[in-house]
Structure 1
Amino acid sequence: MEKYDQLYHLYQTTDTETLRAYQEFVDLFPPLRSTVALDQWDAVRAELDERKTAISEEFPTTGETYAELAARLTREEAFTALDLYSKYDRRVNVLVLDVDETLRSAGDTDNEIPRSTLHLLTQFHEQGVPIVVVTGQTLENVKGFMIQGLGNEVVSSGNMSIVFETGNAVFTPGHGSDTKRLLYERLDPEIVAVFDAVRGRVLSDAPESVVHGCHLQGNEFNVTLKPNAEVGSEAAAEVIDEAVCHLCALVGRAVADAVGESIDDPAALARTYFARDPELARVFAEAGVSADADLEAAPEAVLDILERIDVGYYEADAVELVSLELDKATGVREAFDVLGIDDPFGIVMGDSKSDLRVMEWVAEADAGISAAPEHASQAVLDHVRAHDDLVYEPGEASSVLHIVYGLNLLAELDERRS
């Protein structure tokens, strides 16, 4: 109970709110060429150092750690960090981070990663903690904004990996022949043939409204259609619903061709199979397209392929063909292998069902903890709340990162004592 008592005393007797404000000013608003700005920064830094020194003197053996905790974590964050450390008794040695609606949120942060979050990621990097970014985006997109936010030195350091296109490939600069692992090249030829066929026909064979209302995202393997209209708009919802009907039909024909089976209505067969997802069943019903084929009468070879792929539907946002043999969890394991993380204990932050697979894996393997924004999918929230309840407000990913930072400080304290 010693740490709990000391933390309680620390936050009871110290003006930590002002201390955190000074720390944030020093971290996020560095000295400028302006003499006035430089003088102000120096004054705040001096006051910050003085207050931290006072805390250090009050706690002779643990003071520096507690001063750092007080300067960066709220009382609630500090006690959450201590609870997690008491529960797991180890530090977090890797960050596994989704980007869209996790690190950044269109609602509150203008879809940019907040500076406070970027600064914390830089601090973790400087402490040698690897960063694994896990996203459904293309490599060029995510590499571009990570370089813009963290700098090329961090991204190219050899201690950062990007799992892109929802686990299709892994990019880890500075690792020679392992710098880019194309996981989709390991798939069976029949699966690859389906993706190639669908990709080649998804726009050329599409209805006129889909041709003019969608564009094909530049993925290396997944086949993803995005609306030309603003995501979330009525126009986007309408064209994505039409696009998913078209994509499923193409998948049915491509699967039949790949295995050499003759099927009366392969489009209806594929739609029937994917209609096991209630959202897709609703879309097919509203579109008036057939989704009532006899799956039991379908050739076994066709069903075998269908069982290994999936159609992801994101209302008014996107529709994509993906391989179930390649997911974020698979990509994360590959990233750990490249980075040489043999005994991972990570923080997994995400909001979607694809992130849930990573969370479930680390929970089963006792390899980490999970966090999610409060607008995450219900399945993700159920998982996170059932474990450590690390749910944060949109745009506030830094709160969880602060908790992890505090957890590692507490672990370091015990490591020094031993």
Structure 2
Amino acid sequence: MERYDLLYRLYEDFDTDAIRDLQTFVDVFPAVDSRAALGYWQDARDELDARKAEVRDSFAAGDTLVEVAATADRDHAFTGLDLHSKYGRAVNVLVLDVDETLRSAGGTDNEIPRETLHALTEFHEAGVPIVICTGQTLENVKGFLIQGLGNELVHSGAVSIVYETGTGVFTPGHGSQTKRLLYDELDEEMIRVFDEVRSRVLPEAPDDVAHGIHLQGNEFNVTLKPNFDVGSPEAERVIDRGLVYLVDLLGEAVATETDEVTTRGPDWARAYFADDDPEVEAVLESEGATVDLGIDDVPDEVASVFERVDVAYYHADAAEVGSLELNKPRGVQAALDVLGLDDPFLAVMGDSKSDLRVMEWAAENDCGIAAAPEHSSAAVLDHVRSTDGLVFDRGGAAPMLRTIYVLNLLAEL
């Protein structure tokens, strides 16, 4: 029987909603000492076992279809089938952004929901490695992953963390390859530019910036964060002004590094990065910081350094400079190398420009699929909708993970 016919019969003939609800209750039921509560849990477990047995006995591939029924609703299951029909293979590694993807300040109180953590645990138990790919610091990511997934899973050898948007990769359990500092591979010129910006960014900040920001504890990138709630008007104000200051400081550092003895460095930086990124241009305009220069007015030697630098703006959240040579695709490739995945097929989930680069790399190399939350940047949504249309609700990473899990189950048939 074809996979389509099997799924149609499964969802037509059986109460899969009840199976899924019972499975969720059994899986995520909190640990309690109440005898009555434990009785409810055991009753649910008994009913679940009975309903699963009915499905299992009705199909030759009953074990797999029971898992499908307990994992996803009809729509997500048939989406998984569409993915299998298109690609003909299972996902063998997850590449996941954290903020506004696995968790959301607007949808999950900035915590990774329990059902999402449970889905990740199921992938781990199925032998699918997990690559967390984030702009956050390593220590911060390690902390909430261990808290959510447990120390044993995080240190199992099948979890890798690409941190600070690709400046380093941490894969516990891999000996000398456990921590790879990718920024050490940059040339001395680029290292000096970043050292200069980092050493000056706080001591020389103007008062209207200095009193409202702090420097994120990165190993390499220079990231300004607000001393206010992310998304608030105060955070928007200080990050917009901080971005202008950071661009100017970068311009001075590059002008010095290239022996351009001039005060034009900030103007060149404003002209170059306004031309490079519409979001940066919009902030410069709103702050009255545009310059009457075009990109052709930037000296070639200076532009050749600028083109290796990533100026990133996250509305009311962060302003950052990083190296374009240290990006998420490079970090992911390093993680895949450490994990020993020679023929990867990724499921990439993210919301920002840095995540888009991983999605595009996977598409160009025919080695993955992409999914994004509905509030992602326009460029990310354009890419995802033009490929497989895997857009999910804010804070709704779990159903998308279940769709991918169904794809993997169907690949086993």
The answer to whether the superposition gives a TM-score over 0.5 is yes
Match of 2:327 in 1: 327
What code does the residue aligned with 1:363 have?
A
Match of 2:292 in 1: 292
Q: Does 1:35 align with 2:40?
A: no
Match of 1:373 in 2: 373
Q: Following superposition of structure 1 onto structure 2, how do residues 17-96 of structure 1 map, counting pairs within 5 Å? A: 17-29=17-29, 32-59=32-59, 61-96=60-95
Match of 1:395 in 2: 395
User: Normalized against structure 2, the TM-score is what?
Assistant: 0.97
Deviates more, 1:23-32 or 1:65-74: 23-32
CA distance in 1 between counterparts of 2:225 and 2:192 reads 22
How far residue 5 of structure 1 moved from its aligned partner, in angstroms, is 1.3
What code does the residue aligned with 1:224 have?
T
- Identity across aligned pairs (percent)? 61
What code does the residue aligned with 1:334 have?
A
Q: Following superposition of structure 1 onto structure 2, how do residues 262-281 of structure 1 map, counting pairs within 5 Å? A: 262-276=261-275, 277-281=277-281
Secondary structure, in 3 states, of the residue corresponding to 1:167?
A: coil
Q: Does 1:240 align with 2:239?
A: yes
Contact 1:275 1:291 in 2 (8 A): no
Match of 1:129 in 2: 128
What code does the residue aligned with 1:104 have?
R
Match of 2:213 in 1: 214
Unpaired runs of 5+ in structure 2?
A: none
How far residue 263 of structure 1 moved from its aligned partner, in angstroms, is 2.5
Change (3 A) 1:298 1:377: closer
How far residue 258 of structure 1 moved from its aligned partner, in angstroms, is 1.3
Contact 2:268 2:297 in 1 (8 A): no
How far residue 139 of structure 1 moved from its aligned partner, in angstroms, is 0.5
Secondary structure, in 3 states, of the residue corresponding to 1:275?
A: helix
Change (3 A) 1:72 1:188: same
Contact 1:31 1:37 in 2 (8 A): no
Unpaired runs of 5+ in structure 1?
A: 414-418
Q: Pairwise CA RMSD of aligned residues? A: 1.3
User: Normalized against structure 1, the TM-score is what?
Assistant: 0.96
Match of 2:158 in 1: 159
Match of 2:347 in 1: 347
Match of 1:149 in 2: 148
**Structure 1 segments of 4+ aligned residues over 4 angstroms from their partners:** none
For 1:262-317, what per-residue CA distance to the aligned partner results, in whole angstroms no more than 9, with x for missing partners?
Answer: 23421111111111122322322333335223643543221111110021112221
What code does the residue aligned with 1:115 have?
R
CA distance in 1 between counterparts of 2:253 and 2:74 reads 57
Contact 2:272 2:294 in 1 (8 A): no
Contact 1:30 1:41 in 2 (8 A): no
For 1:67-122, what per-residue CA distance to the aligned partner results, in whole angstroms no more than 9, with x for missing partners?
Answer: 11111210011111111111111111000000001011111211111101101101
Deviates more, 1:156-165 or 1:240-249: 240-249
Contact 2:16 2:73 in 1 (8 A): yes
How far residue 260 of structure 1 moved from its aligned partner, in angstroms, is 1.7
CA distance in 2 between counterparts of 1:230 and 1:67 reads 44
